[in-house]
Structure 1
Amino acid sequence: MKVLITSDSHGLTRELSELVERHQSDVQLFIHCGDSELPSDAEEMMPFNAVKGNCDLSSAGYPNDLIKTIGDLKFFVTHGHLYNIKMSPMNLLYKADETGADIVCFGHTHNAVSFQEGKKIFINPGSLRLPRGIDEKTYVICEINYKKKEVYVNFYNQDGEPVRSLSKTYCLD
C-alpha cells in the first residue's frame, strides 16, 4: 500500500497534476496537508484527500482535520497550525492519541521531516513551493509493508527523484 503526501503547494496547479500523473498507477491514496490555496472542487485537487490550511480561504471547502483508515492503519491528516506545530509537536501527539491515529500527516512548517513517537509515525512532506531548511521542494510516498510490519517514508523532490537523506524506515511494532 502506497500513500502520496504533499502540502503547502500555495497555488501551484501544474505541479500537483504532475504528481498525480506520475504516481497514479502505483499510489492508492493521495493526501494534501493544506495550504493548497485552491478550492476543493479545483480539478487539480480532485484526487487529493485534503485539509484546510491557514492560507486556504474558509470558502475553500476543506475540513480542518481528516481521518482515513488504510488497511489496519489510521491516518490523521491536518495542516498543523491549529495544533501550534511550529512551537512543539506535543499538541499533535495528544490529538493523535485522542483519535487513535497510527500515522499523522501535517504541514504548515514547510520543513520536510518524519519521526516516530512511541508507535505513532509523524510525517511532514515539506513544501512544493517554499521549502524551509533545505533547497529541495519535496513530497512523500509512504509505503506500508504489512508483512514486515514496516513503514517506509520516502521523500522525493519535485521532479520525482529520491531525497535519500530524508527518507526513513519505521517499525509498526
Structure 2
Amino acid sequence: MKYLVVSDNHGDREILVDILNHRRNEVDYFFHCGDSELPSNDELFQTYNVVTGNCDFDPGFKSYLVVKTPQDIIYMTHGHLSNVRFGLTQVSLEAKEKQADICLFGHTHQIGCEAVKGCLYLNPGSISQPRGPIQIQSYAIIESTTDSWEIQYYDRTHIAVSELNFRFKK
C-alpha cells in the first residue's frame, strides 16, 4: 500500500490540487494532517483524509481519524492537541489506544520520521512553510509492505529528496 502524507499548506489550495493530479495513479490513500485553512466541504477532501489543525476554524473537521487499510491501521491528528512540540509521548499513547501501527501528524512544520515499538511516526513537514533545520517544502510517501515501511520525502516540485529516504522493519 502507498500512502501520501501532506500537512500545513495554510490556504495554498493549488499545491494540494497539484499533488493530487501528479500522484493520483500511484498512491492508494491521501492524508492531510491539518492546517489546510480550507472549508471542510472542499471537494479535495473527498480524496484526502483530513483532520483539523489549530488554524482550521471550520467545525466540519474531526480532531483525529483512524483509517484501516488492508495493510495498516493509521491514526492521524494535527498534533496541537497532542503536544507534539514537546515530544511524541502523548500522541504515541493516542496511537496505541487506537491500535495503530502508523501515526501521522503535522503542526510543527518539521520533517520527522521514526519507528518505535512497531509503530511508524511521521510528520511530512509543511508543504508551504517549513521550519527547523530542514528548509524544504515537503510531503511524504510511505510504501507499506508486510515486513517494512519505506518512506520517501518529496519537495513541492515532486522531486525525491535523496537524503530523506528511510526504511524501517515492522
Which bin holds the TM-score, normalised by the shorter protein?
A: over 0.9
Alpha carbons 2:71, 2:145 under 8 Å: kept: no
1 CA distance for matches of 2:2 and 2:89?
27
3-state SS in 1 of match to 2:4: strand
* TM-fit CA distance, 1:46: 3.0
Alpha carbons 2:109, 2:130 under 8 Å: kept: yes
Q: Give the equivalent residue in structure 2 for 1:136.
A: 136
Q: Give the equivalent residue in structure 1 for 2:122.
A: 123
Q: Give the equivalent residue in structure 1 for 2:104.
A: 105
Q: 1:153 aligns with which of 148, 151, 154?
A: 151
* TM-fit CA distance, 1:58: 3.8
Q: Give the equivalent residue in structure 2 for 1:45.
A: 45
Matched-pair identity in %:
34
* TM-fit CA distance, 1:43: 2.9
2 CA distance for matches of 1:32 and 1:5?
6
3-state SS in 1 of match to 2:25: coil
The runs of at least 4 consecutive aligned structure 1 residues that moved more than 6 Å come to none
Question: What are the Cα deviations for residues 47-83 of structure 1, in whole angstroms up to 9, with x where unaligned?
Answer: 2000000100043x11000000111310000000101
- Structure 2 unmatched runs, 5+: none
2 CA distance for matches of 1:40 and 1:167?
32
Q: TM-score, normalised by structure 1?
A: 0.94
Q: Give the equivalent residue in structure 1 for 2:162.
A: 164
State the number of aligned residues. Answer: 169
* TM-fit CA distance, 1:163: 1.2
1 CA distance for matches of 2:89 and 2:33?
18
2 CA distance for matches of 1:62 and 1:167?
31
2 CA distance for matches of 1:103 and 1:89?
13
- Structure 1 unmatched runs, 5+: none
1 CA distance for matches of 2:43 and 2:97?
33
Mean CA deviation greater in 48-57 or 35-44: 35-44
